Amino acid sequence: MSNQVMELLESNNLVKVCAPMVRYSKLPFRTLVRKYNCDICFTPMIIADSFVMSQSARNNEFCTNAGDRPLIVQFAANNPEDFSCAAEMVAPYSNGVDLNCGCPQRWAMKEGYGAHLLKKPELIRDLVLQVRNKIPHPFTVSVKIRILEDIRQSVELCQQLESAGVSFITIHGRTPAQRHQPINIVALQTIRASVQLPLIANGDVKTLQDAEELQKKTKCEGVMAARGILTNPALFAGFCVTPLDCVAQWVVMGQKLETNFQIFHHHLSFMLEKIMRKRERVLFNSLKNITDTKNFLEEYFNLDFSQTVCSLTAVEECNYENVTNDFRRKNVEIMDSFEDFLENSCLYVD
């Protein structure tokens, strides 16, 4: 059995990756960037705990279709059970799962998610191993990290992850405390020289040329773009600004996939950032629905939506029943043994 992700990462070609982005790297956007030479897409970070427990969280947070591959589903998790159960649930509908070890937001750190895990290599190892033991190859288990102040700690972490059987690592070349500073290329080079598994370098890729230069400097197998690909979903196809055909496709696709209007509008706002003048932007920001948005784009950008061809594969129906039942059964077992313990213990007071 083959896995497109590992085949790509072992191919010696530059692998172009769309980053996990909360709110934005959802099915419609992934469909768009795949049309413009993006090789692998990540979902936004999904909280594993809620995903496992709640059907409505699953419906809200994850949807895919047969064309949406290779796909990596990223989770925020702080214990092996949640991560491995969430991984089992999405395994039939994706190529791999990724553990977020880079989110620096205060709420995430407080819950033990994201960059909080960078200082807990043993726990990351347990999380990864539990998935690896439950779901066989070629399904991938990867980790996305930020670098640490002391680069030796990042090297050690990556070596530990490699020996735990991680399929690949994505490295955002900033520390959790850094926001807009340039990425640390030397750190990426040092990590590259210290491990054998495939690496994806991330940070400040705004054009195809940036992507090629980052790969050349770091020798990483892949490069990942977040803000750059939001402003220009066609960047991996070599466009320097968003081509109008890409804008038209987004509109037609957003309509077909019934994207939430606010998110749909945010995306357009990013894509048109470099081509919209101030007066147009004021008007654009006041738009309230898709019809008005289409009229605006027809008038100001001469877009002709009747000429836009956009075929879409139907959204896949995801069935999580078997796994949820297993998980419930496990919880019931835990509760049963806890009850037994209480009954047999001197702590138990009737």
Ligand X SMILES: Cc1cc2nc3c(=O)[nH]c(=O)nc-3n(C[C@H](O)[C@H](O)[C@H](O)COP(=O)(O)O)c2cc1C
Instruction: Indicate which residues carry an active-site annotation.
Output: 103
Name the residue nearer to ligand X (CB basis): 76 or 303. Answer: 76
Name the residue nearer to ligand X (CB basis): 24 or 327. Answer: 24
State the minimum distance, in angstroms, from the CB of residue 341 to ligand X: 39
State the minimum distance, in angstroms, from the CB of residue 240 to ligand X: 16
State the minimum distance, in angstroms, from the CB of residue 226 to ligand X: 3
Name the residue nearer to ligand X (CB basis): 45 or 141. Answer: 45
Binding site for ligand X (CB under 6 A): 19-22, 24, 44-45, 74, 100, 102-103, 144, 172, 202-205, 225-228
User: Which residue, among 284, 285, 297, 287, has the nearest Cα to 252 in the 3D structure?
Assistant: 297
Name the residue nearer to ligand X (CB basis): 103 or 268. Answer: 103
Name the residue nearer to ligand X (CB basis): 62 or 327. Answer: 62
State the minimum distance, in angstroms, from the CB of residue 108 to ligand X: 10
State the minimum distance, in angstroms, from the CB of residue 5 to ligand X: 16
